[in-house]
């Protein structure tokens, strides 16, 4: 077992970390204050990432990406986790699911996304269908040679900047011994398509500037050319490609936790009470010890899950474990860091209260903690007939 990084991986880590510190950190306070990413800032970040050769680095070289392995890309995401998500969004990591594009879809969606010419957004969640994906009520029905889509999606991250959308909708129902079971199909939908509207979503206390939107379909007609994957094959497409989103949450949680920990460590070493640094009190020093132990554990758990993917090994449970543990670890680390800072931790003079707010959503999106526990437990119990 070799736990060391190669020279190339060390270069990836240092390059991305330096980029985040130089190009992302300086804009964070303004984005936090306004809730907006200025257009020129977004385009400048994208341009510099393209020049650096890291745009769409999660895609294989044959389509214009950097061809990074799952482990290498996890290292990229870990470092991006240190920065504001509203800003690192423009570092450019299109959804891996676009590799399912075929024929003209490649020229229309996949390749422009990889080149940074078009941005995508993933749309699954609905007001009445979050964790219960099969509960979605957004539907597409056949009408002649087209599909007619009606319904609503919400909590769609990055939709305000997206040029097209990867949308999952119900396209039928099968009767099974366990009751009705909806069939799901994935569609590619362009912004501005007739019958399709993108409007402002909800104001979130987490990740300000990284907005969510509401998508509305009103008799939106789509052709078969807009189907990604097979008709009624949405779950197959989803299960093949969307594991990457859970690894992203895990790795970014680790990166953010390390940045938060640096604040806790520095404050504990500098802040004095009762005539000495507060880090000399066990009430603080033991928290510091627990924090770094949990961060390291989450880091290795996440990187090992990415490594399993590279080896072609089953990794569903391991990815779920990484997402679960890393996101909950981040919550504990940010809360402990705020406690170490005392009242000042809640003031916007420090970024601690922002990290604390941002951490809360990681246990919800891309599969709640409860869903991850379900995946883990079923993986263990199903082979035993339980």
- 71-129 confidence digits (pLDDT tens): 999 999 999 999 999 999 999 999 999 999 999 999 999 999 999 999 999 999 999 88
Query: Which residues belong to CATH 1.20.140.10 in the chain?
Result: 244-384
Q: What pLDDT was estimated at residue 178?
A: 82
Q: What pLDDT was estimated at residue 243?
A: 77
Q: What pLDDT was estimated at residue 353?
A: 97
Burial string for 250-280 (b: 16+ CB within 10 Å, else e) reads bbbbbbbbbbbbebbbebbeeeeeeeeebbe
Note whether 229 and 100 are within 8 A (CB): yes
Chain centroid to CA 40: 24
Q: Which residues pair with 165 in a beta bridge?
A: 121, 189
214 Cβ neighbours under 8 A, 6+ residues apart = 152, 153, 154, 156, 198, 199, 200, 201
Q: What are the pLDDT digits (tens) for 300-326?
A: 999 999 999 999 999 999 999 999 999
CATH code of domain 120-234: 2.40.110.10
Q: Where are the alpha helices (DSSP H) in the chain?
A: 7-19, 25-34, 39-52, 70-80, 85-88, 104-105, 111-115, 234-241, 243-270, 282-310, 316-341, 352-360, 369-381
Burial string for 87-108 (b: 16+ CB within 10 Å, else e) reads bbbbbbbbbbbbbbbeeebeeb
Q: What pLDDT was estimated at residue 61?
A: 96
Chain centroid to CA 239: 16
Note whether 58 and 93 are within 8 A (CB): yes
Q: Which residues pair with 272 in a beta bridge?
A: 277
Q: Which two tokens stand for residue 131?
A: 């964790």
Q: What pLDDT was estimated at residue 115?
A: 97
Query: Which residues belong to CATH 1.10.540.10 in the chain?
Result: 7-93
C-alpha radius of gyration, the chain, whole number: 22
* Helix, coil or strand: residue 1: coil
328: left (phi over 0), alpha (psi -120 to 50) or beta: alpha
Note whether 200 and 168 are within 8 A (CB): no
Model's pTM, two decimal places?
A: 0.94
Distance CA 349, CA 32 (A): 12
Q: Which two tokens stand for residue 10?
A: 């060390």
Q: What pLDDT was estimated at residue 359?
A: 98
Note whether 87 and 34 are within 8 A (CB): no
35 Cβ neighbours under 8 A, 6+ residues apart = 203, 208, 209, 211
Chain centroid to CA 25: 19
Of 232, 236, 287, which Cα lies nearest the Cα of 265? Answer: 287
Distance CA 264, CA 292 (A): 11
CATH architecture type of domain 7-93: Orthogonal Bundle (1.10)
Note whether 358 and 207 are within 8 A (CB): yes
Distance CA 383, CA 35 (A): 48
Distance CA 326, CA 363 (A): 9
Distance CA 327, CA 316 (A): 17
Among all chains, which residue has been given the structure tokens 């509401």? Answer: 214
CATH code of domain 244-384: 1.20.140.10
Pairing of β 276-277 and β 212-223: unpaired
List the chain residues with pLDDT less than 70.
none
């Amino acid at each position: 077992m070799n736990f060391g990084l190669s020279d190339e991986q060390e270069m990836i880590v240092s390059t991305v970390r330096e980029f985040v510190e130089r190009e992302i950190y300086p804009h964070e306070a303004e984005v936090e204050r306004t809730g907006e990413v200025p257009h020129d800032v977004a385009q400048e970040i994208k341009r510099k990432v393209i020049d650096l050769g890291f745009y769409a680095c999660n895609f294989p070289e044959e389509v214009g990406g950097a061809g990074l392995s799952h482990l290498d890309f996890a290292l990229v995401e870990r470092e991006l986790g240190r920065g504001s998500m509203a800003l690192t969004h423009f570092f450019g990591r299109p959804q891996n699911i676009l590799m399912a594009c075929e024929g003209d879809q490649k020229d229309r969606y996949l390749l422009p996304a990889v080149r940074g010419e078009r941005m995508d957004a993933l749309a699954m969640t609905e007001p009445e269908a979050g964790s219960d994906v099969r509960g979605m009520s957004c539907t597409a029905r056949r009408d002649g040679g087209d599909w007619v889509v009606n319904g609503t999606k919400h909590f769609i991250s990055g939709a305000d900047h997206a040029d097209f959308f990867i949308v999952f909708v119900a396209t039928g129902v099968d009767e099974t011994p366990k009751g009705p079971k909806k069939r799901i199909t994935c569609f590619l939908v362009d912004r501005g398509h007739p019958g399709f509207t993108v409007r402002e979503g909800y104001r979130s206390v987490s990740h300000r500037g990284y907005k969510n939107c509401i998508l509305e379909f009103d008799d939106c007609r789509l052709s078969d050319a807009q189907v990604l994957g097979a008709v009624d094959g949405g779950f197959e497409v989803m299960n093949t490609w969307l594991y990457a989103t859970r690894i992203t949450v895990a790795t970014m949680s680790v990166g953010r936790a390390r940045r938060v920990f640096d604040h806790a460590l520095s404050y504990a070493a500098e802040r004095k009470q009762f005539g000495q640094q507060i880090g000399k009190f066990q009430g603080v020093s033991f928290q510091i010890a627990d924090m770094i132990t949990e961060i390291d554990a989450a880091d290795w758990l996440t990187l090992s899950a990415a490594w399993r993917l590279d080896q072609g090994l089953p990794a569903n449970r391991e990815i779920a474990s990484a997402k679960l543990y890393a996101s909950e670890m981040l919550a504990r680390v940010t809360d402990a860091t705020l406690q170490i800072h005392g009242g000042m931790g809640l003031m916007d003079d420090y970024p601690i209260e922002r990290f604390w707010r941002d951490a809360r959503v990681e246990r919800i999106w891309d599969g709640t903690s409860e869903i991850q526990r379900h995946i883990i437990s079923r993986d263990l119990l199903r082979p035993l007939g339980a």
